[in-house]
Amino acid sequence: MVFCWMICFIGIQNRMYAQCPILPALPKSAKTIESFIPKTWFILDSAKGDFNADKLLDIVLVIANEKENGQDNFEFECNRAILILQKTKDSYILSSFTKEGVLCKQCGGVFGDPYASISLEKNVLKINHYGGSNWRWTQDYTFRFQQNEWQLIGISNDSFFVGSDCDGEGVGDAGRNLVEVNFSTSKIHIIKTKDTECKPYKDEWLTCKKKPFISLFQFDVSADYLPIQIN
């Protein structure tokens, strides 16, 4: 049995928090989607789905501050917020939100903005990132609406080398290193591969002790929620 613990993350991108705009207080409900978007903020992306099975389309929004596109400030080093709005007959209700839901614009390295996509399928929210250069990486999170809140149920951190050919089939899983956690089942999948080799030296499943779920409101994409320290 591997015991889970939360590891404090020391920022990999040297973000300048003092320059990051503060997300103002949001309304609990409003007639329109636009009413939830604070002044100087904009919708970066959105996805629709019916998370409470009432046959009304709810919506998840990724929002950012307009200043992140400027050249004389550091807002491009700030993470982006996520809002989940529940549709009612004639309005929207703020189901949940996080101020730190999507990695910053420059966090993808040479590859650029690491934000890849967001999806809302039934009661499952997925947040996907992709970045790197010759060494690529993905950083994905899965939330589920359960116990009347959005809870983190899965993490997947993957990396691989794109400059090597595995099995003569072009770019493959060279140097692949994967850590995938399912907090609902307490299962952890680990794949470790040396340098640019193709065959992993470790491919195993572990079990960890269950801990309370992290809610979307508590979530910070720059924090490390992996349940074990991987060497």
Distance CA 105, CA 108 (A): 7
The DSSP letter of residue 10 is P
Which one-letter amino acid corresponds to residue 69?
A: N
111-151 confidence digits (pLDDT tens): 889 999 999 999 999 999 999 988 999 999 999 999 999 99
Which one-letter amino acid corresponds to residue 70?
A: G
Distance CA 181, CA 216 (A): 17
pTM for the model: 0.88
62-119 confidence digits (pLDDT tens): 999 987 655 444 456 899 999 999 999 999 999 999 999 999 998 988 888 999 999 9
User: How far is the first Cα of the chain from the last one, in angstroms, to the nearest whole number?
Assistant: 17
SS3 category, 18: helix
Evaluate whether 214 touches 6 at the Cβ level (below 8 Å): no
Whether pLDDT at 169 is above 70: no
